[in-house]
Structure formats: structure tokens, C-alpha cells
Amino acid sequence: MFRTPESHSDRSRLANIASSVTLTVKRLGWLHTLLWSSASLGRRFSTHIFVVAIHPIDEDEGRDDPSAAGLEGHVLTLDEILGFFTRSEGYGYSRAFAIDALARGDRCFGLFEDKRLVWYCWYARESAPVFDDVDVVSGFPFLYAYNAHTDAAYRGRGLHRIGVVASGRFFAREGYRAITAYMEAHNLPPLIAARAMGERFVGFVVLRRGANRVRWFATHGCRDATFRIQRRASEASLRWAADENWWAS
């Protein structure tokens, strides 16, 4: 029987959906399968679903030592950030993004190999932007992590796990006990990676962009982990410039 290109395309699309459902059920369970399905549909209606996860910090954790993998990890200095984050646009190494993060007082922890920055993640003690005029806040002793990035040439080596563990040890000296992050519910690879790292999913947030403003709903589990969404009160200041010693690792 003759099949049109459209019918082949439909069958391929259905096969991809079935494969994703099977993978999600196997790796994450039925609840996340439902969240994944809802998130994939919701994006068509300006609705986002975020899964909130926490990574408890274990100061005595002996595994994933950067030095054992030939790496060195530390909080980037101001000069290092200005030297590495030079691109005018894009997800990784964006100068504009780094300047905005610095203006909020955020810090960047990185892994280096032969003086090359191969992985980094930003950490916020206070609020960090999500959409439009909406911020994310993770209260002490939880530290909010965002915008983790692995150099494309170094992927597949487990650098994200090594970096999260190493940064956790560093921030534990300041009294932090867990790292909080969120992931889009439709984005399966980071969710599966988070589960494999032993991170605990504590709740989810539904956020919708309306005609005039963003509205949201967060489950009780998010609040128990001191993770909340809030309306942005004011623009970030350049307070970091007056306190360069704060960047010392």
C-alpha cells in the first residue's frame, strides 16, 4: 500500500513519543512521565513545568575528587570570569550573562584541565532571574545552582557530577547543606542525570506567561526546600565591585 510522506512522518513521530514515554517510565517513574507529557503540551500555551531537585552536601564524600581525574576546581576570580566569559551571545561563556550574574553577587565554580575551563556552574546566595520580572530564591542553608555548562569537547566524562560534588564541599565551609536546582520537566537528559547522581526531586513549579505578567504555582515540597518564586523587586546593583575580596577562594 502506498504511504504518503506525511504518514511516514506521523508514524515516526508516534514512535519517538512512545520511546520517550518508555524511557521516562523506566528511569523516572509514572509521576515524571505525567509531568513530561504535561510540560511538552504546556509549552505550546506559554506554560512551563519545572522539577525542583536538591543535592545534599556530604563534606566527607571521598568519591569524585577533581584531582583524581586530573582536574582542579575552585571559585573563579573576577579576572578569570572576565577572561573566560568573552562571547557576545549564546548559552556558554556569555559576557553579558556573566556581568549580570556578577552584579547580583553570584559566584561561579569551575573545573580546570591544563588551565582550560571545562565545566562551570553559577551559584546564587540571593535571588536569580527566571523569566521576565520573576526570580528564583533558595534560602540558607540551601544554595541555588543554575546555568551549569560542560565544554562540548569534554562531555561524557562525568564532569557535572565531579563539579557539583566539589563545589558542594567548598560551599559547605560557609554553612550550606544542600544545593537546589530546577529543570524543565520536558527535558529528559538532565532529569535522568540528576536521578543517577542521587539528587532528590522535592516538588515542581508550574509557571505561565500571560498577556501582562507571569503567574505560577509551587508545590509544598518546594517550600520545604526553601525554594520559591517571587516577583522581582528591583534591578541588581553592582555591589560586587566594592568587595573584590568576597571572590577569593
Q: What is the pLDDT of residues 125-183, one digit of tens each?
A: 889 988 778 899 999 999 999 999 999 999 999 999 999 999 999 999 999 999 999 99
∠ CA 138-210-133, rounded to 5°: 40
Do 88 and 233 meet the contact criterion of CB atoms below 8 Å apart? no
Strand duo 47-56 + 200-209: pairing: antiparallel
Which run of H or E residues covers position 13?
helix 5-28
Q: Give SS3 for 216.
A: strand
Q: What is the pLDDT of residues 11-34, one digit of tens each?
A: 676 666 567 667 666 667 767 677
Q: By CB neighbour count within 10 A (0-12 exposed, 13-18 middle, 19+ buried), where does 198 fall?
A: exposed
Percent of the chain whose predicted confidence (pLDDT) is above 90: 41
Q: Give SS3 for 21.
A: helix
DSSP string, 28-58: H-HHHHHHHHHHHHHGGGTEEEEEEEEEE--
Q: Give SS3 for 3.
A: coil
> Is pLDDT larger for residue 178 or for residue 35?
178
Q: Domain with 92 in it: what CATH number?
A: 3.40.630.30
For the chain, the domain total comes to: 1
- Residue 125 to residue 137: CA distance in whole angstroms: 8
Instruction: Name the pTM for this structure.
Output: 0.79
> Domain range holding 72?
5-247
Average pLDDT of the chain, as a whole number: 81
